[in-house]
Structure 1
Amino acid sequence: MVMSYQGEAAKEVKEAALQPMLVSDFMTKDLITFRADQTIFQAIDILIKHRITGGPVVNENNELIGVLSEGDCLKEVVKGKYDNMPMLSGTVGDHMTKTVTTIPPEMNVFEAAQLFLSKRIRRFPIVKDGKLVGQISQRDVIKAVREM
């Protein structure tokens, strides 16, 4: 005789389980941002000081105009390899990625997780009504799922 150790099946679905898990509930709102007119050297200092791998670039109206990453900075460093001296010239606006995939705060966390896999990006800026309102990272999504 085989005994089952499976517990009693749940008869009710808890209301909390039906609530959507929105990006806005798990995004980071207090962001380190960059301005297009900052020097690339200033941006590298900020990345190192705050231990971040990149961040959004905004204009004076808090509208997203690009993203600057460590990779963007490394491209500038590599330019100086022939002189054995990193270049580190230009502005954030010269080196930022201008074509940025953004997501709305109303997006479900599971949809965001799928976007992370398909786009192979570390973070997505969250934009509402043309303004930067936050950012979500892969780690934020993992934390959200852990909280379920």
Structure 2
Amino acid sequence: MSRPTPTVDDYMSRNLITFSPDDDILMAAKILLTERVSGAPVLDSGGRLVGMLSKRDCLGIVYASGYHQEWGGRVRDYMSTDVATIDSGTDIIKAAELFMSSRFRRFPVMENGRVKGQISRADLLRALVEHWGSVA
């Protein structure tokens, strides 16, 4: 008898670091570094997802400073707004397919139009090891 395939909800991170579009970009970059996360959702004042901020996005600070001779700005100036999401009920196999066909390292997990968590490539590998690792 096979076990049911786990869902994104079973393996996602629930305690998220989030940013506001109005947050200072240098402060946000420092948080990403100190918390050792590669990216975080950006939420508006109503808690709606409006973007993602990654370490890669933060490198834009260095790039922009070469032209404007100043450091800084707001998260909104650097965040990615082309955000792919995944539903909390999506099974892990479908989630792996999404990761394989995209450039994203993480997806915000949505439930009823709200961010419920985030799932990363590492979370999926953990699912693989925990769910199927003992089958071999």
Same fold (TM > 0.5) = yes
Alignment length (residue pairs): 131
Q: Give the TM-score taking structure 2 as reference length.
A: 0.89
Unmatched runs of 5 consecutive residues or more in structure 2: 132-136
Please state if 1:120 is matched with 2:103: yes
The SS at the match of 2:57 is: helix
Contact 1:36/1:91, CA 8 A, preserved across alignment: yes
Choose from 41, 64, 82 the match for 2:49: 64
Q: Which residue of 1 aligns with 2:9?
A: 24
Q: Which residue of 2 aligns with 1:98?
A: 81
For residues 25-53 of structure 1, the C-alpha deviation after alignment (integer angstroms, 9 at most, x for no partner) is: 00000001111100111111111111111
The SS at the match of 1:147 is: helix
Give the number of the structure whose alpha-carbon radius of gyration is greater: 1
Q: Which residue of 1 aligns with 2:134?
A: none
Q: Which residue of 1 aligns with 2:121?
A: 138
Contact 1:77/1:88, CA 8 A, preserved across alignment: yes
Percent sequence identity over matched residues? Answer: 38
Matches within 5 A, 1:18-97: 19-81=4-66, 87-97=70-80
User: Could you tell me how far 1:55 is from its partner in structure 2?
Assistant: 0.5
RMSD: 1.5
Q: Distance in 2 between matches of 1:129 and 1:88?
A: 38
Q: Distance in 2 between matches of 1:119 and 1:42?
A: 28
